[in-house]
Amino acid sequence: MKKVLAFVLAALMVFSLVACGSNSTATGSSSAAAGGSSAAPAGDASGVKAAVFYYNYSDTYISSVRTALDGKLEAAGIEYTDFDGNNNQTTQNEQIDTALSSGYNLLIVNMVTSGSSDTATAIADKAKAAGVPVIFFNRAVEEDGNEGAVLGAYDNIAFVGTDAPEAGHMQGKMIGNYLVENYDAVDLNKDGTIQYAMFMGDASNVEAIYRTQYGVEDCDAVLTEAGKPALEYFDSANTNKYQLDMNGAWSAQAAQEYMQTNLSQYSEANGNMIELIICNNDNMAEGCIAALQAAGYNNGEGTTTIPVFGVDATDSAKALIAAGSMTGTIKQDADGMAECIALLAGNVASGSDLLAGTDSYTKDEANGLDNKIFIPYQEYTGE
């Protein structure tokens, strides 16, 4: 009886891996449907089984990375399975344990808990003990000021992401230049100052912290250089000067709900309308635009458009910009990130050095980390 029970429990564990982790939509890899078995991979890639862990499938940008990476791993003949952490680090940790015990020999990890060297070290230690490489991507693995604590402690490790402050600097300058060129039109109440709202996303995320800081600071620098006053946060009672997705999900829904509440108190009729909206990602920008459109704004020709800026350059944000409902965004290159990750995975498959062929990429030279690769941001206004 005990043997039968053990067999049943083992079967349930395998089923759990398939149901919770194997959700890739790539058509050429049956790892999506079979929890690890795949169509015969090409060439030297036949020995690699990659487990790809995403912090949350529902994140629009992450979904773009996933689609691109699925295609590139498939094209390289690399067997893979995708796992949804569902914004829960405990879930992701359990998925990593299960993948390692199931024979996966490459970990590609988009951590749930961003900027946590403790979390990243725990994952790296598991990979090291199993003798498998680990590629972290998109979400920072170390706290600001603690660079190298993880990436410098394990030979077979890499990070593919972005230089966290860059998006904030780029967005701030873009907003400042836009305001200088359109100041009178944006200043709806004609008080000589632009009242803004800021949507942060996740308070512990390094990217969100820098975007919140530099999106305003760099805009203010452009304004003051042009002889204009600095931005003024619309709600003087909010000393943080941002509104936060309390679930850390950077969601359109949270931003829309905040903006609906804002618009019930701040309006042109009251002379205190929010005149500029800065968002740390395009999801939140879309939520704000939905609330504005319901209130009669940003609906195209004949309606007042409140400038809304985001980050990511998702397809839906590009469509809103093309329609005149959104002003600009900073492109976070999903395809470029996926291409670099696939290059590293290909190196593992061919038995090459993990970082082979990466000399053309920008790296964290300031901290001496050759294995920390930055994919550059770009301004996007639809032009």
What pTM, to 2 d.p., does this model score? 0.82
Q: Determine whether 301 is exposed, middle or buried from the number of CB atoms within 10 Å of its CB (0-12, 13-18, 19+).
A: exposed
Average pLDDT of span 225-231: 98
Predicted confidence at residue 249, as pLDDT, reads: 86
Identity at 83, one-letter amino acid code: F
Predicted confidence at residue 30, as pLDDT, reads: 32
Predicted confidence at residue 248, as pLDDT, reads: 83
Identity at 177, one-letter amino acid code: N
111: tokens are 């951590």
Q: Could you give all domains of the chain from N- to C-terminal order, each with its CATH number? A: 2-161+333-380 (3.40.50.2300), 165-312 (3.40.50.2300)
Q: Tokens 């305001």 appear where?
A: 179
Predicted confidence at residue 302, as pLDDT, reads: 79
Q: 270-311 pLDDT, tens per residue? A: 999 999 999 999 999 999 999 999 999 999 877 899 999 999
Average pLDDT of span 15-29: 36
Q: 94-128 pLDDT, tens per residue? A: 999 999 999 999 999 999 999 999 999 999 999 99
**Res 133 pLDDT > 70:** yes
Full 3-state SS string of the chain:
CHHHHHHHHHHHHHHHHHHHHCCCCCCCCCHHHHECECCCCCHHHHHCEEEEEECCCCCHHHHHHHHHHHHHHHHCCCEEEEEECCCCHHHHHHHHHHHHHCCCCEEEECCCCCCCHHHHHHHHHHHHHHCCCEEEECCCCCCCCCCCCCCCCCCCEEEEECCHHHHHHHHHHHHHHHHHHHHHHHCCCCCCCCEEEEEEECCCCHHHHHHHHHHHHHHHHHHHHCCCCCCEECCCCCCCCCEECCCCCCCHHHHHHHHHHHHHHCCCCCCCCCCEEEECCHHHHHHHHHHHHHCCCCCCCCCCCCCEEEEECCHHHHHHHHCCCCCEEEEECHHHHHHHHHHHHHHHHHCCCCCCCCCCCEEEHHHCEEEEEECCEEEECCC
Q: How far apart are CA 289 and CA 150, in angstroms?
A: 39
Predicted confidence at residue 237, as pLDDT, reads: 97
Predicted confidence at residue 383, as pLDDT, reads: 66
**Res 27 pLDDT > 60:** no
Instruction: Calculate the average pLDDT of the chain.
Output: 89
Predicted confidence at residue 46, as pLDDT, reads: 61
The answer to whether the CB of 266 falls within 8 A of the CB of 232 is: no
- Which of these, 296, 125, 309, 119, lies nearest to 214 by C-alpha position? 309
**Res 255 pLDDT > 80:** yes
Q: 363-374 pLDDT, tens per residue? A: 999 999 999 999
Predicted confidence at residue 1, as pLDDT, reads: 38
Predicted confidence at residue 144, as pLDDT, reads: 87
77: tokens are 């003949």
Identity at 339, one-letter amino acid code: E
Contacts of 127 (CB under 8 A, 6+ apart): 100, 107, 133, 134, 154, 156, 157
**Res 247 pLDDT > 50:** yes
Confidence of residue 45 (pLDDT cuts 50, 70, 90): low
Predicted confidence at residue 81, as pLDDT, reads: 98
In angstroms, the Cα distances linking 331 to 188, 248, 335 are 29, 21, 11
**Res 24 pLDDT > 80:** no
Confidence of residue 7 (pLDDT cuts 50, 70, 90): very low
Q: How far apart are CA 23 and CA 54, in angstroms?
A: 11
